Amino acid sequence: MKIFLKNGDALSLEDGAKCSDAAKAISESLARNAVAAKVNGALCDLSAQLSEGDKLELVTLKDKEGIEVYRHTCAHVLAQAVKNIFPTCKLAIGPVIENGFYYDFEFNTPITQEDFGKIEAEMQKIIKANTPIERFELPRKEAIELMTRFKEKYKVEIINDLPEDSVISFYKQGAFTDLCRGPHLPSTGRIKAFKLTSLAGAYWRGNEKNKMLTRIYGVAFAKKDEMQEYFDMLEEAKKRDHIKLGRELKLFALLPEGKGFPFFLPNGMVLKNILADYWRDLHRKEGYVEIQTPIILTRTLWENSGHWDHYKNNMYTTVIDGEDCAVKPMNCPGGMLVYKLQPHSYKDLPIRMGEMGLVHRHEKSGQLHGLFRVRCFTQDDAHIFMLPEQITDEIKGVVRLTDKIYKQFGFTYKVELSTRPKDSMGTEEEWNAATNALRAALDELGLEYEINEGDGAFYGPKIDFHLKDSIGRTWQCGTIQLDFQMPQRFELEYVGEDGAKHRPIMIHRAIYGSMERFIGILIEHYAGKFPVWLAPVQVKVLPITDRTHDYANKVAEMLRAKGVRVELDERNEKIGYKIREAKLEKVPYVIVVGDAEERDGTVNVNKRGVEEKFSMKAEEFADLVCREDREKVIF
């Protein structure tokens, strides 16, 4: 029979050949490195049988799907090891997560992290045995009988929830069998690097009314040195923790009186305002107008927008004058009302409408984390109303603006195109048109992107930007969402060239995403060592003795007059102590002035990150700082 490879080449194989046979036929190297396969686009085991005309793509650990198969197999090895040590425990689920996996168990006697050593040792024994992993299928009734015989009540519950005519798949490795959709590695011996990392409680199926299970987390990597790099990154991340640095640098506070509602301190407000001013300056140049819409709006508005039906659980509600209202979780419906305040012609479009809007979303207390997950945040929203023929150009304009902003902070990024979710509004035709428009814009810009199936907003597909920071972590920030639905629901109109009324197309977009979250990312990206243009305090002036206080004041005033953010430390402390303290505050420039500096009109400069000190005229130093601020020098 003939099958077809990813590049279109035909490959002849014996009838009944498996994916692993195809790998061997192509090359010994591929046969060694393949861990799974895609047959006609569906991910499967290497043991899957091929048929005439199948399209085959072999998957290795260099592929995203390959490392996920690897990590999922590691979860099954964990489950087997735990069952070997604690035979009375019950198995729940064990999915793949970023960098690793977890498995949920019900234990008769609670375990602790002190048990990880013996569990890992048992996992190593299973891996060393290099046991083949075999898939088999059973009808639903027999599957229930099997899991009942094994006394695995959670597996029985999962099977019972499947359709009556389902064929259920299992995976067997030696004496251990687990319910699983798969696929898996060909054998346990293919696992090279893993480590168990933590324990947590987890309600069965995420429902707090169900039993609390024990979740064991682990990480797994294709190579040991990759795992070591990961743990090195975690250690570096601890040093950069934005909650710790935010407290030390007096940027923000998290107080029990406002859980999930951060307090911005003077230094934090300086940083927040710099980001807002930069955003406003760029958007003015790009032809945006700025608006502000109310924080509380009526229920009828949120019903019209679709949020009441699709997002109500995340909204704060209240009653005003006997009418149901909600605190806005998003800015877009207010933007619709602003558009409708006056008639529009096709000549007016596109209208680019920006809003630094404060939104509130109800997050569970256990999900709150610093500035990364809060209950209120400022979203740098913009809504673009346009003609159908303007879609591609407008999306390209937003992408270019997003690229400019991210590069200004030293970020690289990857792009994802997210398609229609299950819970969505609109027709298939509208969704296809919107998705194709986003795809066309990305293709015309020559940007590489991944497809994220089913992760679009409920009203339209979207482009998401994932930033990569200075230690290699990724953060989802910017988004571009193309929306055919809201203009219809709000009956937005413009008068076309033909004199008739038409419906505009709309883009929702944010670049920072959440100002609060973006600030948290910046703190960790720079480890609190902000470049001069972002630093809340750019220069600290330290007089050596009381005699030079007047000169220090004169220098500080000169710097302030030029727009430099400066602090003067006149405390009666030793100069070495004051320098060390200023360095802990991560101020970009610390200048020391004594009798010699006063005599020569100079300053002695300590530049952050540079061992050598240097002297220069005070005015020249001011010009240096102003230039770095003006040019927004990153490093």
Tell me: the pLDDT tens digits for 263-289? 999 999 999 999 999 999 999 999 999
Instruction: Find the catalytic residue in 71, 190, 361, 420.
Output: 361
Instruction: Find the catalytic residue in 373, 375, 383, 525.
Output: 383
- Residue identified by tokens 């060390």 is 580
Are 403 and 415 in contact by the 8 Å Cβ rule? The answer is no
Mean pLDDT of 143-168: 94
Instruction: Find the catalytic residue in 83, 508, 529, 540.
Output: 508
Shared-domain flag, residues 501 and 595: no
Shared-domain flag, residues 53 and 72: no
What is the extent of the structural domain holding 34? 2-60
Instruction: Find the catalytic residue in 332, 469, 525, 586.
Output: 332
Mean pLDDT over each residue of the chain, to the nearest integer: 94
Half-sphere exposure of 314 (CA within 13 A, CB side): 15
Alpha helices in 222-373 (DSSP H): 224-239, 242-248, 266-285, 299-305, 307-310, 332-339
Shared-domain flag, residues 41 and 93: no
Whether the pLDDT of residue 458 is over 80: the answer is no
**Confidence (pLDDT) at 206:** 87
Q: Is 627 one of the catalytic residues?
A: no
Shared-domain flag, residues 520 and 567: no
Of 151, 145, 229, 238, nearest in space to 193 by CA: 229
Percentage of the chain beyond pLDDT 90 is 83
Mean pLDDT of 304-316: 88
For residue 334, tell me if it sits in a domain.
Answer: yes
Mean pLDDT of 546-574: 94
Tokens, residue 406: 């991210």
Instruction: Find the catalytic residue in 83, 283, 462, 578.
Output: 462
Mean pLDDT of 184-190: 97
Are 314 and 326 in contact by the 8 Å Cβ rule? The answer is no
Q: Which range, 163-167, 171-175, 454-458, 631-635, is most confident?
A: 171-175
Sequence-distant (≥ 6) Cβ neighbours of residue 275 within 8 angstroms: 512, 515, 518, 519, 534
Q: Element (H or E) spanning 395, and its range? A: helix 391-408
Mean pLDDT of 327-333: 93
Q: Is 379 one of the catalytic residues?
A: yes
Total domains, the chain: 4
Shared-domain flag, residues 518 and 563: no
Q: State residue 374 phi and psi, 5-degree precision.
A: -125, 175
Count other C-beta atoms under 10 Å from residue 59's C-beta: 24
For residue 258, tell me if it sits in a domain.
Answer: yes
DSSP code of residue 473: -
Shared-domain flag, residues 130 and 37: no
Instruction: Find the catalytic residue in 45, 104, 381, 464.
Output: 381
Shared-domain flag, residues 520 and 558: no
Single-letter amino acid code for the residue at 187: S
pLDDT band, residue 634 (cuts 50/70/90): confident
Shared-domain flag, residues 402 and 474: yes
Shared-domain flag, residues 352 and 381: yes
Instruction: Please identify, among 525, 553, 569, the residue that sits at the C-terminal boundary of a domain.
Output: 525
For residue 136, tell me if it sits in a domain.
Answer: yes
Mean pLDDT of 436-441: 88
Q: Is 361 one of the catalytic residues?
A: yes
Reply yes or no: is the peptide bond before residue 350 cis, omega within 30 of 0: yes
**Confidence (pLDDT) at 416:** 93
pLDDT band, residue 323 (cuts 50/70/90): very high
User: Pairing state of beta strands 288-290 and 351-360?
Assistant: parallel
Q: Angle 591-531-372 (CA atoms, 0-180°, nearest 5)? A: 130
**Confidence (pLDDT) at 310:** 81
Shared-domain flag, residues 108 and 160: yes
Are 318 and 325 in contact by the 8 Å Cβ rule? The answer is yes
Instruction: Find the catalytic residue in 379, 390, 481, 538.
Output: 379
pLDDT band, residue 139 (cuts 50/70/90): very high
Shared-domain flag, residues 518 and 627: no
Q: What is the C-alpha separation between 526 and 246, in angstroms, rounded?
A: 12
pLDDT band, residue 506 (cuts 50/70/90): very high
Q: What is the C-alpha separation between 193 and 549, in angstroms, rounded?
A: 60
Q: What is the C-alpha separation between 351 and 206, in angstroms, rounded?
A: 43
Q: Is 381 one of the catalytic residues?
A: yes
User: Helix (H, G, I), strand (E, B), or coil: what is residue 381?
Assistant: strand
Distances (CA, A) of 381 to 52, 285, 348, 413, 476: 52, 16, 20, 20, 15
For residue 200, tell me if it sits in a domain.
Answer: yes
pLDDT band, residue 312 (cuts 50/70/90): confident
Q: State residue 585 phi and psi, 5-degree precision.
A: -80, -5
Q: Is 55 one of the catalytic residues?
A: no
